[in-house]
Structure 1
Amino acid sequence: MEKKTFFKTTSHISIIFLTFFLPMATSNDDQQLNTLLTIKTSLNSPNTHVFDNWISSNSVCKFTGILCDINNMVLEIELSNKNLTGSVPFSSICELKSLEKLSLGKNMLHGEISSDLSKCVGLKYLDLGNNFFSGEIPSLSSMKNLTHLYMNCSGFSGIIPWNSLESLTGLVVLSIGDNPFHQTPFPEAVSRLLNLNWLYLTNCSIGGEIPRWIGNLTELINLEIAMNYLSGEIPVEITKLRKLWQLELYQNDLTGKLPVGLRNLTNLEYFDASSNKLYGDLSEIRFLNNLVSLQLLENEFTGEIPQELGDFKKLVDFSLYQNKLTGPLPQRLGSWAEFDFIDVSENFLTGPIPPDMCRKGTMTKLLMLQNNFTGTIPESYANCKTLIRFRVSKNQLSGVVPSGIWGLPNVDIIDIESNDLEGPISADISNAKVVKQLYLANNKLSGEIPSEISKAEALSLIDLSDNQFSGKLPSSIGELKKLSNIHLDGNQLSGSIPESLGSCDSLNDLSMAFNSLSGPIPASLGSLKNLNFLNLSNNKLSGRIPESLSSLKLNLIDLSDNDLSGLIPASLSVMASNGSFSGNDDLCSHTLKNFKQCSSAKSGMSSDLRTLIVCVLIGSIAMLVSLALFIYSKRSSKEHEKSWKENSWDVKSFHVLTFTEEEILAAIDQDNVIGKGGSGNVYKVSLENGLDLAVKHIWHNDSCGGEKKSSTPMLAKGGQKLKEFDAEVHALSSIRHINVVKLYCSISSEDSSLLVYEYMPNGSLWDRLHMFKKMELDWSTRYAIALGSAKGLEYLHHGCERPIIHRDVKSSNILLDELFKPTIADFGLAKITQTNSTKDSTHVIAGTHGYIAPEYGYTNKINEKSDVYSFGVVLMELVTGKRPIEQEFGEKKDIVEWVSSKLKTKESVLSLVDSAIAEHFKEDAIKVLRIAILCTSTLPAVRPMMRNVVKMLEEAEPCKLVGIVIAKDGDKKDKLQEHKL
């Protein structure tokens, strides 16, 4: 009876369970399914199949990226690094009541984060990092279960909600760096998060001093507070953090010495305090024998490098460049581990180069420029096949260069200039398949230049000047198709100049002065359309100057002190300086002074005709002078007229001039205005000799010098305008590059300044894209403009003695010559990076709306990466044909946001391409668009350097099937800085 009752009771319970709980379970499954399908519709994954099995017929627990608990409740959503786009439906996600982990990092998600996120109260792990969100971080105070919070590198702005974060006392990881937040002091709220072991606050505009309470966060193993506005000394309390594995303090304004007791951080493996104002010695470092990476570059440290570092068994990265360190390097440095690189350039170090840094065969960079190292180059580096950069210039090294150095298979720069090194360039150079630059000047190198050098097909620069090379130039040198600069001056070379040089289509600068070269100047040099500088002076060259050179657009030509004869071509006369052809007694000219006049028989020109031409020239000059005086007399008021006439003009020439300031002044007339910029009018000046010039006129006061005030918008007061003038002159006067506008001279007075440039007949890229004749720009032309402009910016950033930041890169500042070759122009806002500055930045906001990088608004830090962003916008213009700001983009949106919104499907991406671009070029255009997207990344650190932009553009050459992968890597960024090239 009892048994029967038991079974009866059990049966009732089963019925109750089936009646109530099973429908509830079914209801939960339906709810979860609906929620996940809602997420699927909000997010897109164009290039992956992550959502292929997210279908209603499947169990949600079998969905890709979904993890359930034993009750089939969704516990985790793991969709990081899936190339997702779209906005996140947090209101739906937070309906998953059992959800503990939401990981959406490393995608391309956008939009603002709604307050609905705070409803996910059960979350323990939240990763939204490395995306493209906008707006502020909402309050998270209700999410008290959070232990891991990743919101770094995602475009969040405004004020960090510290008040809500301080209540999340269970946090183990707090990572919100690399966002454009408003500047705030170091947040005291962090002091309450005593469980933290990972704190990432790099690049989020934190100012003030590092607080002393930082020493209370004793669980920290990682502390990253770099790239902020921190000042003062590193507090001694930081030495209490005995568990620290990584300490990142780089790019702040920290001062003082390394704190006493730093030696206690014996678990420290990664220490970077670069780019601050720290000083004193490195004695505390000698106890940190677990260091893997030591980065203390760009500070003011003195004294010797501790010899104990030579016994550090884990050390692989070592950078101390630009300090004031003395004494020798530890000779066992880098010999224990798989050493990667060393950079100790720009110190006062002495002694020999440590011989065993490549013992494990892994070293990539040896950078020891500008010290006082002595001894020979160790033979061991001739076998270091992994080296990509070998730079030991400006030392006191001696002996023969090991032959294997020349043939290192992965090296792209060999820089040994300004030493006392000897020996030849060995035939091993044929193995250097990727070497791009050879800096060998100012040594005692000798022997013949080997014909095998032509096998180093990637070479773009060869500088062998001021050595003892002899013999003939190899005829095979013409096989170096990428060669842009070759300097062979100051050697003992003999024989003729190879005709094959005319095949080096990229050649920009050719100097062979002060040798014993003989024979004629090859006519093939006239085919070098990119040649800007030609110096063949002080040789034994003979014969006539080839007429083919007349087709070149040379900034400098010097053929002096040879045995040349015959007529100097008229077009070369225009380019020549007084000394360009001197020392050639048998040369004659119709126009140049100090040369004998060519006879009628030679010239084919009668004496009467020459007389007529001279009279016409004199009359023209007189007429122009009269015209200039007439223009002066017409200036608005007598006061300005008097001021203008009494001005004392100071002319500073940067190239040989074939005109006078009077000719330029005469053309400053409203009828000749061809453009109006933020700092002055631009005029076209056509000279009698056929040369066209562009002249920018800048007034140093608000009166505009008698011109209509509306014609010259005031950017600032007169002092600021003078600064802009000086900036442009300073930036352009020393620049010699085919893709940077040529500045002939400056003409300045107390009231007014003029900049005289080469004239670009096809106007600006802006004009061609947006104003008229847009159809003329086919994709091949647009691509060539993109690549040429990139090379110009690359030169400014990496090719000058000090990097030049343009600060106003835009399509209207890219000018086009008659062949649509682009030149970078308008340096009124340029800044030359100071070599003694701890930050490559300036605190002046400058630029043009639509092109300005987002970091301007929250840090005012302007560096090369800001130019890269602006150039990315120009690339988007070239691909889409759109202006940076268009009504169709929507209110307060620009081309970058518009392009980002169209990255959902292949069809929407292809729709971005300008309809004027032929269909078969659209895939090529998309390759460039990908580069543009990378250049316009929200975070500067993610953007490539211009040298890498050039490389990517070269790989995107039309019809060249090369894929470009856009990295969205938001992990700890590679800060191992490479030295200037």
Structure 2
Amino acid sequence: MSVQCFWRWFTLLSFFLTLIMLVSPSKSDDQFQMLSKLKSAVQHSKTNVFTTWTQENKVCSFTGIVCNKNGFVTEINLPQQQLQGVLPFDAICGLRSLEKISMGSNLLHGGITEDLKHCTSLQVLDLGNNSFAGKVPDLFTLQKLKILSLNTSGFSGPFPWKSLENLTNLAFLSLGDNSFDVTSSFPAELLKLDKLYWLYLSNCSIKGQIPEGISNLTLLENLELSDNQLFGEIPAGIGKLSKLWQLELYNNSLTGKFPTGFGNLTSLVNFDASHNRLEGELVELKPLKLLASLHLFENQFTGDIPEEFGELKYLEEFSLYTNKLTGPLPQKLGSWADFAYIDVSENFLTGPIPPDMCKNGKMTGLLILQNSFTGQVPESYANCKSLERFRVSKNSLSGSIPAGIWGMPNLFIVDFSMNQFEGPVTPDIGNAKSLALLNLANNRFSGTLPSTISQTSSLVSVQLSSNRFSGEIPSTIGELKKLSSLYLTGNKFYAAIPDSLGLCASLTDINLSGNSFSGNIPESLGSLPTLNSLNLSNNKLSGEIPVSLSRLKLSNLDLSNNQLSGPVPDSFSLEAFREGFEGNPGLCSQNLKNLQPCSRNARTSNQLRVFVSCIVAGLLVLVIFAGCFLFLKLRQNNLDHPLKQSSWNMKSFRILSFNESDVIDAIKSENLIGKGGSGNVYKVVLDNGNELAVKHIWTANSIDRRSFRSSSAMLTKKNSRSPEYDAEVATLSNVRHVNVVKLFCSITSDDCNLLVYEYLPNGSLWDRLHSCHKVKMGWELRYSIAAGAAKGLEYLHHGFDRPVIHRDVKSSNILLDEEWKPRIADFGLAKIVQAGGQGEWTNVIAGTHGYIAPEYAYTCKVNEKSDVYSFGVVLMELVTGKRPIEPEFGENKDIVCWVCSKLESKESVIEVVDSNISEVFKGDAMKMLRIAIHCTSRIPALRPSMRMVVHMLEEVEPLQLTDVVVVDKVSAGCSKEKVNTGGKSDPSS
């Protein structure tokens, strides 16, 4: 090289070195400014992630920042940092070398702006599990993108499927659990992404058939399309995805059989196609030797369960309930791996129970109810200490229960009902400390009830009806403080009913009928505060009916066919209880015509009541003559709905201390305390100081008159009682529960429907939580309100022959008395489930926005689980202090979505707790939040019954503990809703 050439190269090199030195500080300064803008936009007071983000440090040493060898920022890694705020994409995408944005599982909100299109070097974009709003912008410029994760982030509107055509490098696509606009068909653009190995599209409004072209995605290992609106058959092409280890298709409307070739998916480990309309046999699944989880419940499959399933060496979860399967279970089923649970309930299966499903001691659920299984419970299950649910009811099983099963420490539910079991309940039942439900009804069990049952401290329900038990009820039964229902009907129990039964303070239902109990009815039963139903019929009880029972608010009382004597207490001398006293020749009553009149001594206490009744009758006559005067007076009071002069029809449902004139005179504007969609509410103060609430329900005539319509059609329209009025009367006239509002009577005329209730001075729970009248409520009071309201709903769902569904459960329909005890109120939308218990269809969406269960919007089918969802929203209100709909939740988001977005860590969950709740009780609030999340599961079958909700609330009674319970997102059901804790939570609930 010549000297001249050398100097040329030297000069050029010097120029470039000088240029780099000049440019580098500018580059560093620009990157610092852009990251500073990000820091100021999303900084969180409780995180120290930004402590290194200062001018004294190099950008490449910032926490969460990765640079290339030239000092350019290539990665922003800040997941799960509790960051909240709006991302400044103009600054972020100013980092021209940026290849990765990982900020998932934070509290980010706002929208993704069009500035994202400038991040042209991006290979990874992970913003999943946040609280964004609005649409996802076009992604067509992000051609290098390999990973796109936007699941569970609050997006809505149309998704830019078209732009995916440019993203040919995509290998990981996760868009599930967003409220995108419903597609007209399965997005065809997805079928061109042949590098995909992960595709998560659950619950993002995809509609149509799964196309045959899905076979193009041969690299797929995970395919999740659950919770969408897919229909039609599973395409045969899916059998070409030989690398699939997980396939999730549940909760769609898929039909037809498994296609030929489906068995080619030999890598499949987890398969869930439950809650569809699939049919045919399961033979195509025989080659799937690696299956660990198989969920096909709630379909229409037929035929036998293949014997090859008994050779599945990795199987842990097996759920096929509610199909039409026949034949026996493979006898080797579950004997190889750490088998966790089986639920094959509600099929037509036969044969014996496989003996080795708990061979490795990990089984938690054995649910085979409502089949035709025969034989005995295998002895091997006596060693299955892990079992939590043992449900074999409605089969043809026989023999004695193996020793050891009664005392299993983790059993929560034992349901052996409706079989042919025999033998005793052994004393080791006292070791079953977790047992809540013991159902042995309709079997041939015999022997005495062991006294050790009183040590089973978690018992909520004991059902031993229609067996051959004998002996006495243990005197220690009063130790069962959580016992809610006791059914011993149709056995051979004898001796006296123990006084200690009155110590079971949670009892709501007692049925001891059809035994040989003798002696007096214990006075102590009158001290049971929540007792709703008492059936002691067909025994040998004697003596008088205790006066203490008059304190009870019973909806059902049956003392028939005993040897009782003396007068029937006045509070029970109602037509509703008449049949409950028959078959007792010694009983008397002045009011019940089926009983002999009481002698002078026996009826002295009734004379005053008879005299008062005569006075009331006289007043009724006076009211008829005063009708015209009353009408004029009401018009002068300028009522919203003047009451028409007419004859009044008053129906009483309780013993009253007032008449209709006392009520009607008080229906005036100055007594108005509330207005609703169906009428006004007035406060009435009687002369004796007692207070009433009167609901004046508008009718066709009264509304016409208020509107001053004068057409002849309107003037001649005959009045009929409104559906709301009929619903409330039909429901509440039969209700007797401390947590349901009392209906005293109804008063009707040609254009006036009045319902007279007890007055509750502390208003509604809504008012106390959210309105200008809100008060600072401590956790103990909130818990008490939740527990009481739950018991009221439990009574409506379980306290009648057919469940009463409220259909408008919300905090404004939970009223509070002077002691802040809750009452379920407003039954204008109530429905009574018809025989068969499958719910009712309605042609309108009843209820209140924010409380309506999601399935109601598209099925219009009413059942108890709809009320459970609404009650879960109320629980969330109590925990968070938030209203069901708040602007901060984002567009089209409610409190359920908001709470579920906070379940990533202990810290973020704690933030949802109302600041008015003391720190010492926040752990208890977290426990209630867990219950609320279970109640608001998207799949109704996964929601607990109200009876179970009551039990769960009793389990979380405040103990002033400072520990915090972290809500697990998967088990709670806020993410992918699948049965992962033991199959259907209660297939017969």
Contact preservation (8 Å) 1:232, 1:253: yes
User: Distance between the aligned counterparts of 2:338 and 2:387, measured in 1?
Assistant: 13
Give the SS at the match of 1:812: helix
- Aligned partner of 1:569 in structure 2 is 569
Match of 2:638 in 1: none
User: Which residue type is aligned with residue 540 of structure 2?
Assistant: K
CA contact (8 A) 2:700 2:719 kept: no
Preserved contact between residue 125 and residue 147 of structure 1 (Cα < 8 Å): yes
Structure-2 change in CA distance of 1:73 and 1:778 (3 Å): closer
Q: Does the Cα contact within 8 Å between 2:899 and 2:912 map onto a contact in 1?
A: no
- For 1:154-183, what per-residue CA distance to the aligned partner results, in whole angstroms no more than 9, with x for missing partners? 111001111112221111121111111111
Q: What is the rounded CA distance, in whole Å, between the counterparts of 2:839 and 2:525 in structure 1?
A: 43
**Which residue of structure 2 aligns with residue 32 of structure 1?**
31
The answer to whether 1:439 aligns with 2:439 is yes
Q: Which amino acid aligns with 1:957?
A: P
Per-residue deviation, 1:770: 6.1
Distance 1:812 1:213, change over 3 A: same
Change in 2 beyond 3 A, CA 1:135/1:180 = same
AA aligned to 1:19 is T
Superposition deviation, residue 368 in structure 1: 1.0
Moved more, 384-393 or 14-23: 14-23
| Structure 1: 5+ residue stretches without partners | 712-716
Question: Counterpart of 2:713?
Answer: none
Instruction: Label 1:177 to 1:347 Cα distance change in 2 as closer, same or farther (>3 A).
Output: same
| Counterpart for residue 90 of structure 1 | 89
Deviation at 1:521, TM superposition (A): 2.3
- In 1, the alpha carbon distance for the partners of 2:47 and 2:596 equals 76
Q: Secondary structure at the match of 1:445?
A: strand
The count of corresponding residues between Structure 1 and Structure 2 is 962
Q: For 1:757-772, what aligned pairs fall within 5 Å after superposition?
A: 763-768=763-768
SS at match of 1:318: strand
CA distance in 2, matches of 1:461, 1:909: 34
1:780–1:61 CA distance, 2 compared to 1 (3 A): same
C-alpha displacement of 1:186: 1.2
Structure 1 residues 538 and 838: CA distance shift in structure 2, 3 A: closer
Equivalent residue runs for 1:618-633 within 5 Å: 618-620=617-619, 622=621
Partner Cα separation in structure 1 for residue 837 and residue 564 of structure 2: 49
Partner of 2:236: 236
Structure 2 residue matching 1:166: 3-state secondary structure: helix
The offset of 1:303, in angstroms, is 1.8
Residues 45 and 814 (structure 1 numbering): CA distance in 2 closer, same or farther, change over 3 Å?
Answer: same
- The 2-side partners of 1:212 and 1:436 are apart by 49
Query: Which secondary structure state, in structure 2, belongs to the residue aligned with residue 957 of structure 1?
Result: coil
The residue matched to 1:112 in structure 2 has which SS?
Answer: coil
Residue in structure 2 matched with residue 955 of structure 1 by the alignment? 956
1:420 deviates by 0.9
How far residue 143 of structure 1 moved from its aligned partner, in angstroms, is 0.6
Whether the 8 Å contact between 2:790 and 2:949 is mirrored in structure 1 is no
Matched with 1:714 is none
Q: Secondary structure at the match of 1:327?
A: strand
Counterpart CA distance in 1 for 2:941 and 2:349 is 34
How far apart in 1 are the matches of 2:899 and 2:83? 16
User: Once the 2 structures are TM-superposed, how far is the Cα of residue 372 of structure 1 from its aligned partner?
Assistant: 1.1
The residue identity in structure 2 corresponding to 1:39 is L
Q: Secondary structure at the match of 2:155?
A: coil
Which residue identity does 2:515 align to in structure 1? Answer: N
Q: Contact between 2:133 and 2:890, CA under 8 Å: does it hold in 1?
A: no
Q: Using a 3 Å threshold, how does the CA distance of structure 1 residues 332 and 474 change in structure 2: closer, same or farther?
A: same
Structure 2 CA distance for partners of 1:974 and 1:9, relative to 1, 3 Å: farther
Instruction: Please state if 1:174 is matched with 2:173.
Output: yes
Query: Which SS does the other structure have where 2:278 is aligned?
Result: strand
Work out the CA distance in 2 between the residues paired with 1:237 and 1:966. Answer: 40
Give structure 2 stretches of 5+ with no counterpart. Answer: 636-640, 710-716
Checking the alignment, whether the CA contact within 8 Å between 1:357 and 1:363 is kept in structure 2 is yes
Alignment of 1:801-816 (within 5 A): 807-816=807-816
1:275 to 1:51, Cα distance in 2 relative to 1, 3 A: same
Which residue in the other structure is 1:204 paired with? 204
Which residue of 1 is the match for residue 260 of structure 2?
260
The aligned amino acid for 2:349 is: L
Identity of aligned residues (%): 53
**Counterparts of 1:747-786 in structure 2 under 5 Å?**
763-768=763-768, 774-775=774-775, 780-786=780-786
Give the counterpart letter for 1:964 in structure 2: V
SS at match of 1:579: helix
| Letter of the 1:240 counterpart | K
- Quote the residue 2:106 is aligned against: 107
CA contact (8 A) 1:865 1:943 kept: no
Given that 1:650 and 1:749 are in contact with CA atoms closer than 8 Å, whether structure 2 keeps it comes out as: no
Q: What is the one-letter code of the residue matched to 1:959?
A: Q
Structure 1 residue 682: Cα displacement:
6.4
Tell me which residue corresponds to 1:536: 536
Describe the superposition over 1:553-604 as per-residue Cα deviations: whole angstroms up to 9, x where unpaired.
1112222222333343323335961122333333344544444444454565
Normalised TM-score (structure 1):
0.83
Aligned match of 1:163 = 162
Distance in 2 (alpha carbons) for counterparts of 1:106 and 1:868: 29
Q: Give distance in 2, aligned partners of 1:221 and 1:746.
A: 65
- Cα offset for 1:414? 0.6
More displaced, 223-232 or 868-877?
A: 868-877
Inter-partner Cα distance in structure 1 for 2:152 and 2:289: 32
Specify the code of the residue in structure 1 equivalent to 2:434. V
| Paired position in structure 2 for 1:451 | 451
2:472 corresponds to: 472
Task: Write the mapping of 1:798-947 to structure 2, written as runs, cut at 5 A.
Answer: 807-817=807-817, 819-829=819-829, 845-849=845-849, 851=851, 870-871=870-871, 874-875=874-875, 878=878, 913=914
Deviations 1:379-436 (A, max 9, x none): 1122111111111111111111123221121111111111111111112212211111
CA distance in 2, matches of 1:477, 1:172: 63
**Alignment RMSD (CA, Å):** 5.2
Q: 1:54 to 1:932 in 2, by over 3 A?
A: farther
Name the stretch that deviates more: 840-849 or 751-760: 751-760
CA contact (8 A) 1:663 1:687 kept: no
How far the C-alpha of 1:137 sits from its partner, in A, is: 0.7
**CA shift for structure 1 position 771:** 6.8
**2:19 equivalent to 1:20:** yes
**Do the aligned residues in 1 keep the contact of 2:75 with 2:101 (CA within 8 Å)?**
yes
Asked if 2 retains the 8 angstrom alpha-carbon contact of 1:46 and 1:905, the reply is no
The answer for the alignment partner of 1:148 in structure 2 is 147
Bigger mean CA deviation after superposition, 395-404 or 862-871: 862-871
Give the 3-state SS of the residue equivalent to 1:132 in structure 2: coil
Q: Secondary structure at the match of 1:232?
A: strand
Answer yes or no: is 1:975 the counterpart of 2:976.
no
Task: Establish whether residue 407 from structure 1 lines up as the match of residue 403 from structure 2.
Answer: no
- What does the per-residue CA deviation read over 1:910-955, in whole Å, with 9 as the maximum and x for residues that have no partner? 99958xx697888589758966996899988999867579747853
Inter-CA distance 105–871: structure 2 relative to 1 (3 Å threshold): farther
Does the 8 A contact of 1:275 with 1:298 survive in 2? yes
- Tell me the amino acid that sits aligned with residue 69 of structure 1: N
- SS at 2:517's partner residue? strand
In 2, the alpha carbon distance for the partners of 1:741 and 1:464 equals 32
The reply to whether residue 395 of structure 1 matches residue 399 of structure 2 is no
How far the C-alpha of 1:782 sits from its partner, in A, is 3.3
Q: Is the 2:928–2:956 contact (alpha carbons within 8 Å) kept by the matching residues of 1?
A: no
2:467 is the counterpart of 1:463: no
SS of residue matched to 1:405: coil
Is residue 627–residue 666 contact of structure 1 (8 Å, CA) maintained in 2? no
Contact 1:134/1:156, CA 8 A, preserved across alignment: yes
2:965 match: 964
Q: Does the 8 Å contact 2:526/2:550 carry over to 1?
A: yes
CA distance in 2, matches of 1:272, 1:693: 55
Mapping 1:618-657, distance limit 5 Å: 618-620=617-619, 622=621
Q: Is the 8 A contact 1:322 1:347 kept in 2?
A: yes
Q: 1:276 is matched with which residue?
A: 276
Deviations 1:335-381 (A, max 9, x none): 11211111111111111111111111111111111111111111112
Are the structure 2 counterparts of residues 527 and 666 from structure 1 closer, same or farther at C-alpha, using a change threshold of 3 Å? closer
**TM-score, scaled to structure 2:** 0.83
Letter in 2 for 1:399: G
1:506 aligned counterpart, secondary structure: coil
Change beyond 3 A, Cα 1:936–1:377: closer
Q: Which moved more, 1:800-809 or 1:418-427?
A: 800-809
Is 2:555–2:737's contact at 8 Å kept on the other side of the alignment? no
Cα distance in 1 between the residues matched to 2:126 and 2:719? 50
Are the aligned partners of 1:526 and 1:549 in contact in 2 as well (CA < 8 Å)? yes
Checking the alignment, whether the CA contact within 8 Å between 2:646 and 2:749 is kept in structure 1 is: no
2:298 is paired with a residue whose SS is coil
2:182 paired with 1:183: yes
Q: Cα 1:836–1:173, aligned 2, differ >3 Å: closer, same or farther?
A: farther
